[in-house]
Chain A
Amino acid sequence: MRKILVLAAVAAGIAGSAQAADITGAGATFPFPIYSKWAEAYKKETGTGLNYQSIGSGGGIRQIKAKTVAFGATDAPLKGGDLTKDGLVQFPTVMGGVVPAVNIAGIAPGKLKLSGEIIAQIYLGDIKKWNDPKIVALNAGVTLPDANINPVYRSDGSGTTFVFTDYLSKVSAEWKSKIGANQSVQWPVGIGGKGNEGVSASVKQVANSIGYVEYAYAKQNKLSHALVKNADGNFPAPEEKAFQAAAANANWQEQPGFGISLNNQKGADAWPITSATFILVHAKPENPAEVQEALKFFDWAYKSGDKLASELDYVALPANVKDQVRAAWKGVTDNSGKPIF
């Protein structure tokens, strides 16, 4: 039976036609697991399916601009100007953190403390050894080896890289002027791995390495993480409440389309490298009915999807942000100018 359903779905997809009741979306790979989980539960409840292609944030932006999908998904938010230019409405769905993963013999997970400034200098090639005085100063009582540091980065364009480099730009003026924040940057040192799995494989295989991966990925793959000093000078453990703390103190209205960065937010427990992932829809969609279904889906996800998100180590948005997003949906209208949600 399931096979027949799948075949039917594939056939419907190939026909790409009017009778397809599925919502189509494409984009970021980072939220793909939770979007599929939500879609599964949503289909059981409502009968409406979601066809989400995780082709990457860049692809998601391309597809929504080309109007081939009802919504696009991106990890790096579009700027206000780009949103108005293409007539897009942007809103966040879930959050996640980025954690530094390390592989140093004799250092247990969570035992190594780093600051943003130190991480920036490691990735700039200025700090070359693990027993550099700056790292030793933060880690009293930890024996660090006299070994070269092998920095590992994402070699593919990635929202994770955007979040990580955006954080480094915030805490290091040198990083900001030399490298900057982007989905892919010109790394002066280090080795590249393709995807979260490529980075984590390299970190696991290469001794004395450091990399950065999504928190969910680090947790599920039991990577040894390092702690990072936050804006308040604390070293919180990377876990759900630390990501929520980062979101709690943020002013989401500061940027159009909620496109703020949650990096280096104030808060005693706030994890310093946190970010939301975003959805893009057209403000005046060509196919209002399908976009309406998409918004209904995300409304359902806000209401009933938090538990599923938490099971997969994503972090739900604060309730007040969800309400702000729902208010922003009033900007999505059909041809007559009537809000569709």
Chain B
Amino acid sequence: MTAATDMTSMPGATPIVRRTPKATFDAVFRNASFGAAMLVLVLLAGIMVSMVVGGWPAFREFGLGFITSSVWDTQNEQYGAWPAIVGTLSTALIALVIGVPLSLGIAVYLTQLAPAWFKKPVATAIELLAAVPSIIYGMWGLFVFVPLFAQYVQIPLSNIVEGMPVVGTILYSRSPSGLGIFTAGIILAFMIVPFIASITRDMLEQIPSVLRESAYGIGATTWEVVRHVLVPQAGVSIIGAVMLGLGRALGETMAVTFVVGNANRLSASILDPGSTIASRIANEFNEALGLQLNALIALGCILFFVTFVVLVIARLLVARVKRY
């Protein structure tokens, strides 16, 4: 403000004026932006501390058993996180197994194969998908996907695999409701595809076209170019994108709560209902008292830790790419 006044208040002066920097303004500005940056760290530390403090009674009561026990019994105040941890990791893993190839396919198609007029609308559509609120995915999952999945996949599949070794356990559902770990994984896959696809697309586009042209020049096919030139070039940043998707899949709450079946049991079948850490917290937090509340906060603490580790790995990988 004052700088502007300095300029305009001297009508007769030459336009080239060496302005003296305002020391106070600079200091205030530096401190304010430093404060804004610090606020994030303080908040993060605050969240960590309050989670650890809130969850401490549960960790102290059950020790390592809190992580390894499968019992979640509010009547007898016995809490174990294992089914929720397994549910969280397996839904996220299913989401990656389905979502990553799909995302890479989208990215490769958009950058290498698609006609120019087609690229823009598809890229925009994918970015729009990323902005759809998660509850919409959850409701779509429950109201549209679940009945179809139960009728056309789960029931026939259960009939086929019943009694078979291994697959008869993993793919058999005692009550084929359409809800379960696998359904949650599929919905999560839809949710992380836009993230991974758009980041990967950006990364592939940044690869200098001379590389690609050289590869084509020595007679490589499109597949060979993608497989041996593009993917190795963008590989690490693709992993970073996948990690960001994984971070979202691990923490997703509403959509998962809709379709995961919310059963506090460990099941050998991926088609059976289960729960994730986030869905367990969403379900029980309102009515939780005493040790149950501590156990839920401790669950949150575990999720926080897992997500934090995933994001740190993603950061490190992306940072490595930037050095080149």
Contacts and interface: CB of A to CB of B under 8 A. Distances in A.
Given A189-B175, A190-B175, A191-B273, A59 B75 contact: no
Contact of B261 (A59, A158, A184, A192): A192
A186 B192 CA distance: 32
A155 B283 contact: yes
Given A157-B287, A202-B179, A193 B75 contact: no
B257 interface: yes
A157 B177 contact: no
Most buried by B among A62, A125, A202: A202
Contact of A156 (B72, B147, B263, B286): B286
Interface in A179-197: 180, 182-194
Interface string A147-188: 011110001111000000000000000000000101111111
B287 A149 contact: no
Given A186-B73, A207-B150, A156 B287 contact: yes
Contacts of B147: 205-207
A150 B178 CA distance: 10
B287 A183 contact: yes
Interface stretch (A50-58, A88-96, A251-259, A260-268): A50-58
Q: What's the interface size class on B, roughly?
A: 20 to 34
Interface string B135-146: 000000011001
B287 A56 contact: yes
B263 A191 contact: yes
Contacts, number: 102
A193 B177 CA distance: 12
B164 interface: no
Contact of A205 (B146, B273, B287): B146
B75 A182 contact: yes
B179 to A, nearest CB: 5
Interface-centre pick from A125, A183, A206 (highest chain B CB count, 10 A): A206
B176 interface: yes
Interface of B: 71-75, 142-143, 146-147, 150-151, 174-180, 257, 261-265, 273, 275, 282-284, 286-289
29 contacts: A58-B288, A62-B289, A125-B174, A128-B175, A149-B175, A155-B275, A155-B284, A156-B283, A156-B286, A157-B286, A157-B288, A183-B287, A184-B284, A184-B287, A185-B74, A185-B75, A187-B263, A187-B265, A189-B175, A191-B261, A191-B262, A192-B283, A194-B282, A194-B283, A201-B142, A205-B146, A205-B178, A206-B179, A209-B177
